[in-house]
Amino acid sequence: MLAVSALIVALVLVHRPLGDYMAAVYSSTRHLRVERWIYRSIGADPDAEMRWTAYLRGVLAFSFVGVLFLYLLQRVQNHLPWSLGFDPITPDQAFNTAVSFVANTNWQSYSGEAAMGHLVQAGGLAVQNFVSAAVGMAVAVALVRGFARFRTGELGNFWADLVRGTIRVLLPISVLFAIVLVALGTIQNFSDIQQVQTLTGTDQSVTGGPVASQEAIKHLGTNGGGFYNANSAHPFSSPDAISNMLLIFLILVIPFSMPRTFGRMVGNVKQGWTIVAAMGVIWLAGVIAVTVVEHQAPGTASQLAGGSMEGKEQRFGEGASSLFAVSTTMTSTGAINSFHDSFQGLSGGVLIFGMVLGEVAPGGVGSGLYGMLMLAVIAVFISGLMVGRTPEYLGKKLGAREIKLAALYILVTPALVLGGTAYAMANGDGEEAMTNVGAHGFSEVLYAYASASNNNGSAFAGLGANTEFFNTTLGLCMLLGRFLPMVFVLALAGSLAEQRRVPVTAGTLRTHQPLFAGMLVASTVVVAGLTFFPALSLGPLAEGLAT
C-alpha cells in the first residue's frame, strides 16, 4: 500500500509540469538546431501543415522503412561488428521482431542475450523504442488538434511531431533515467560474452551490453521487450526494489501526463482531468484485484509464503509483481518482472482484460490517449441517444461519419484477437505450442493474440511461440493492430478539424464533470466485457472458478 501510494503521489506531482511541457513542445513554432539538421537530411519542411491523408502517409512510410531496415539488420547481423558471434535471425522471426518493435509491441520469441548482438540491440531495437513511441505520440497530438481546430483540415506536420517528441521529450528523460539506473546497478557496457564460475562450481555464460540505456526508453516509451529473457526480473536490468519502482514509474508517467497535454491544447484542462480520472480508476481497480488474488492464493505453500510466489522474483514478492504486471498490461509496455503464466487464473484474467480494454488505462505512449478519446466519442454518443440529442464533444458534432470511424476503431482489435485465437486453436498449432492443457493452455493462446493485437508485447511465457506459424500470424496481428486503428484515428481527426464550433447550450453534455468520467469508465468496461466475455469464460474465468 505504501509503494502504490508513493507511486501515485509521484505521478500526481509530475502530471502537471510534464503535461504542460509536452503541450508546449507540440504547440511550438520554434525549431532547435539539431531538429533543423534532421529536417534538412530527410528533406522535410517542418512548417508545412498536413491534412490527415498526408499525415497518415508519413506515418506509414516511416514505419515501413523502419520494418525493412530492422529486418535486414537482423538477417545480416553475423557480418556486423559487435555481433558476439550470433547467427543471423531466421526470416520468420526477423519479420516478427521487426514488425514488433516498429509497432511499439516488442513481442519477443527469442532470448535477447542469446540471439541479438550489441549493434542490433542498440542500433536497431533501441532506436525503434524511441521512434515508435514518438509515432504514437504524434498520432495522439494530431487527434487532439482535430478537437482543438475549426474549419481546417490541417493537423500539423508529422515529421515535426516525430522529431520533437523524440528530441525534446523521450531522449532527455531517457538519458537522465539511464544514468540513474547505472547508479543503482544496471549494467551499461559493450563487453563480450564472459564465462564465470557459479557458486555450485559450474560455468555459466554471461552476456553484458548497453542495458541501462535500453531499459530507460523501453519503459518510458511503453515499449517492453528486454535485453535479457528474464526481462525486468534480471538483476542486470533491475538490481533492487528501488529500480523496480522506478521502472514502474517510467511506464506510467507519460500516459498519465498526456491527458494534461490534451486539456492544455484544447483550452480546457478540466477535460484532461476527466480522461486521467477514468484511466486512473480502471488502473487502480486492476492493481487491487490482482494483488488481492495473488496474496490469497490457495494451497499450503502459498499460505506459508504469504501468497503465490511461483514465477515471481524473490526480491519483489507478490505486491511489487502484481503492481508491475497490471501497469505493464494496462499500458502497451509488455515488460515483465514475473512470469504471468504463474499468476492465479483470475489474476491472469485481469491482465488479459487490461489489454483487451484497448490499452487505455492509461495505455501506451500516445496510443492510450487517442484510444481513450475514441471511447469518449462512443460514451458521448451513448449519452446523446439517452436524451434524444445530437451528441457533441468539445464543440464538435458527432455525426454518422465520426461514430462509424470510432466504431471501426473499436472493432479492429476484437477481430484480430478472437479471429487469431480461433484460427490457432482450430488448426492445431495453438494446442501444439501450449505447455499447459485445459483452460490455462487456452489462456496462453488468448493472451498471445491479445498481447500482439493490442501492441502490448508481454506473454504468458508458457507458450512455445517461436514457430513459423506464430511468428507470422502474431506479426500480422501486431502490424494490423497498430496501423489500422491509426487510419481511423487520423480520419476522425481530419473530420473534426473541418467542422465549425458548436455553441454550448443548456442541453450540452458536461464532459468535464465526474458524471461523464463515470460514464466513460462504464463504456470502456462494458464494450470490452461484452466483446471478450465468452473467450475469457473459456480461459481464465474457468480456471479461476475451478480453483
pLDDT at 75 over 80: yes
Over range 280-299, report the average pLDDT.
90
CA distance 386 to 382: 6
> What pLDDT is stored for residue 300 in this prediction?
58
The cell numbers describing 259, all together, are 491527458
Instruction: Please tell me whether the peptide bond between 239 and the residue prior to it is cis, using omega within 30 degrees of 0.
Output: no
What's the rounded Cα separation, in Å, for the pair 356 and 376? 17
Rounded-to-integer distance, Cα 240 and Cα 129, Å: 24
Closest CA to 130 of 168, 156, 97, 182: 168
The overall pTM is greater than 0.85:
yes
pLDDT of residue 225: 82
Q: What phi, psi does 434 have (nearest 5°)?
A: -75, 140
| DSSP H or E segment with residue 279 | helix 269-295
Residue 45 cell numbers, joined: 519542411
Please give the C-alpha separations between residue 244 and each of 60, 241, 305, in angstroms, as whole numbers.
35, 5, 21
Q: Residue 468 and residue 489: Cα distance in Å, rounded?
A: 32
The CA distance from 148 to 82, in Å, is 48
In this structure, what are the phi and psi dihedrals at residue 312, rounded to the nearest 5 degrees? -115, 145
* pLDDT per residue as tens digits for the range 408-442: 999 999 999 999 999 999 988 878 888 888 898 89
Residues 492-519 have pLDDT tens digits of 999 999 999 988 887 788 889 999 999 9
Which whole number is the average pLDDT over 280-297? Answer: 92
Q: Which helix (H) or strand (E) holds 393?
A: strand 392-393
Exposed, middle or buried: residue 287 (CB in 10 Å: 0-12, 13-18, 19+)?
buried
